[in-house]
């Protein structure tokens, strides 16, 4: 099986895992409602595109809206942005399942938008926020700010097709994610057992992945830049970030909260 043939299975698995495991840990909520939403995502992805496949995604969108309302009431900006990223991801998948083309952006980019806002949005920002919550510092706040700003800039790049946004957003995202990973090494070394292993594995995952992201973005404007195709990017760049950086990081912090 080639890398390209793994694209759809990896995308589908990442979306289900992102909703069912990453988001409840990121928002500090019980797993049950999010697992229901994840099952809804799995159901949507298992049927043909159309209104039934889109409507069934309502639990995911509703959960993100609830988190947004809670964040507004508590006046927590980071949580509000995370909720906005989650809702954007849900709406992107709705558009994908309806086969709606927005801003002339084709598939699989629409579906990948759901993936990006789930992991590069909610997931990466959650990990950055965890570091700030543990011990606030200028470097940790800067890493979090970069991760917060990058997803909308990248999205603007796809809409406007301007290199300054698409390549610039990829660079900002890469610097922010790698900064979070580097800062997480120190936090991981202060832990023991499975928590330490997961945090260090998370910290190691994005370095090559984010280099691929910058190369791919640059190749859209300068074809001489070597870069993988989109189908090859998903099981490499995407899998490393989703399952390595974001999922392992969240599982590590979840275990840390429970004293493991």
- What is the average per-residue pLDDT within 66-85? 96
pLDDT of residue 104: 83
Q: How far, CA to CA in Å, does 100 sit from each of 58, 92, 155?
A: 17, 10, 17
Whole-model pTM: value is 0.94
- Residue 106, C-beta contacts closer than 8 angstroms, at least 6 positions apart: none
Enumerate the domain spans of the chain.
4-257
Q: What is the mean pLDDT of the chain?
A: 94
User: How is residue 67 written in tokens?
Assistant: 């988190």
pLDDT digits (tens, 9 = 90+) for 129-155: 999 998 889 999 999 999 999 999 999
pLDDT digits (tens, 9 = 90+) for 206-254: 999 999 999 999 999 998 999 899 999 999 999 999 999 999 999 999 9
Distance between CA atoms of 131 and 128, rounded to whole angstroms?
5
Of 94, 96, 73, the C-alpha closest to 83 is: 73
């Amino acid at each position: 099986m080639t890398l390209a043939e793994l694209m759809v299975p990896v995308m589908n698995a990442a979306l289900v895992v992102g909703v069912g495991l990453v988001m409840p840990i990121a928002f500090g909520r019980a797993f049950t409602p999010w697992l229901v939403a994840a099952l809804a995502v799995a159901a949507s992805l298992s049927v043909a595109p159309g209104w039934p496949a889109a409507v069934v995604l309502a639990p995911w969108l509703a959960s993100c809206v609830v988190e947004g309302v809670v964040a507004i009431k508590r006046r927590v900006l980071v949580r509000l942005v995370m909720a906005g990223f989650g809702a954007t991801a849900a709406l992107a998948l709705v558009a994908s399942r309806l086969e709606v083309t927005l801003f002339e952006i084709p598939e699989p980019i629409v579906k990948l938008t759901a993936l990006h806002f789930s992991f590069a949005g909610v997931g990466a920002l959650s990990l950055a926020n965890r570091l700030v919550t543990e011990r606030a510092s200028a470097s940790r706040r800067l890493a979090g700010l970069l991760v917060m700003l990058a997803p909308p800039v990248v999205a603007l790049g796809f809409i406007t097709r301007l290199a300054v946004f698409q390549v610039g957003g990829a660079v900002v995202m890469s610097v922010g994610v790698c900064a979070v990973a580097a800062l997480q090494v120190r936090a991981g070394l202060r832990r023991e057992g499975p928590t330490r292993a997961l945090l260090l594995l998370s910290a190691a995952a994005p370095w090559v992945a984010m280099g691929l992201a910058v190369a791919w973005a640059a190749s859209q404007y300068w074809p001489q830049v070597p870069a993988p195709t989109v189908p090859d990017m998903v099981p490499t760049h995407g899998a490393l970030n989703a399952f390595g950086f974001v999922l392992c990081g969240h599982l590590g912090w979840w275990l840390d909260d429970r004293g493991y």
